[in-house]
Each structure stands twice: as C-alpha cells, then as structure tokens.
C-alpha cells in the first residue's frame, strides 16, 4: 500500500470562495466556511502524489492556503523528542533535546509542533519489579520506553 500524500490547509487563508471550496471538499457551504476560518492547519486530503497535487491546486484556486506533505518523507521523520530549552541567537535557534544541544539555522526547512501532549500520552507509568512487597517503586517511561525523571517536564510550557 502506498503511503498517502497529505494536502494540509495553511492558514491564514486569502478570501475564500466558500461555494467552490464546499464543492471540492464535498461539504455544505457552512462547513466549508468553518474550515476557511479555522486558524490551525488541517489535513484536507490524503491520496497519491499526483491526485494530491491536483487537489491542492484546485483548493488553492478557491483562496485556501495549502501545503503538500509527501507521505514517504513524513514516514522517515524520527519520533518526536520533547525540547527542554530554546534560545534564539543571531544565526540560529538553539534547542536542548534529551540533554543534547541542537542548532537549527534560520534558513533551514523545519517542521515543528509546539504543544503540550496530554499527560497520559507524554509519560506513561509502568511498574518495575514485583507488584506486591517489591522494593522498586513505579517509574515513568516516555513513549519509547526510556526512563524519565518524574520531576522534569516532558515538553515546554
């Protein structure tokens, strides 16, 4: 099965022809207007690369800002790592990820997400050792299974 290419809205949008967009999105005009006014990116379509490009061009012609995210490229992205600190300097963004420094030049193409995942997703609790009378207390692990210092924050506030 081919990994789909995503067409993602890229707000803020220009003046949207909601009637034309509604037809493309197979929605009523009210629902299309809600999508046009929605302030966050949203997956609008998932298909093969050629069909995605055609759909993106058609939706873009209605006034929607759109981006195409190629599925195979997305599937090669590493698992997300929480950033524990950020600093901006004259030439780059500096971040600390898993106690290691990373620098990102301002002209680099980067996709990043700023969020605080729900607590049950950011850190899961697992019990280590015997359940009754065991001397080891439960430890927190991240989604990869690596131990996490429970006093640290999993992501930026």
Helices (H) and strands (E) in the chain, counts: 5, 9
**Side-chain-facing half-sphere of 155: CA atoms under 13 Å:** 16
Q: Express each pLDDT in 59-111 by its tens digit.
A: 999 999 999 998 888 777 776 777 888 899 999 999 888 788 889 899 987 76
This prediction has a pTM of 0.56
Q: pLDDT, tens digit, for every residue of 11-63?
A: 999 999 999 999 999 999 999 999 999 999 999 999 999 999 999 999 999 99
**102 has which bridge partners?**
95
Half-sphere exposure of 133 (CA within 13 A, CB side): 0
Tokens representing residue 76 in the block: 């090669």
């Amino acid at each position: 099965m081919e990994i789909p290419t995503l067409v993602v809205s890229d707000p803020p949008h220009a003046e949207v022809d909601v009637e034309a967009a509604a037809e493309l999105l197979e929605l009523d005009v009210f629902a299309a207007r809600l999508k046009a006014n929605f302030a966050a990116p949203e997956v609008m379509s998932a298909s093969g690369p050629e069909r995605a490009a055609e759909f993106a061009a058609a939706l873009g012609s209605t006034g929607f800002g759109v981006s195409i995210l190629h599925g195979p490229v997305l599937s090669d992205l590493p698992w997300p790592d929480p950033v524990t600190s950020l600093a901006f300097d004259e030439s780059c963004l500096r971040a600390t990820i898993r106690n290691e420094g990373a620098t990102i030049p301002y002209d680099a193409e980067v996709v990043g997400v700023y969020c605080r995942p729900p607590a049950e997703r950011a850190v899961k609790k697992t019990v280590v050792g015997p359940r009754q009378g065991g001397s080891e207390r439960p430890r927190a692990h991240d989604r990869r299974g690596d131990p996490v210092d429970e006093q640290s924050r999993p992501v930026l506030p």
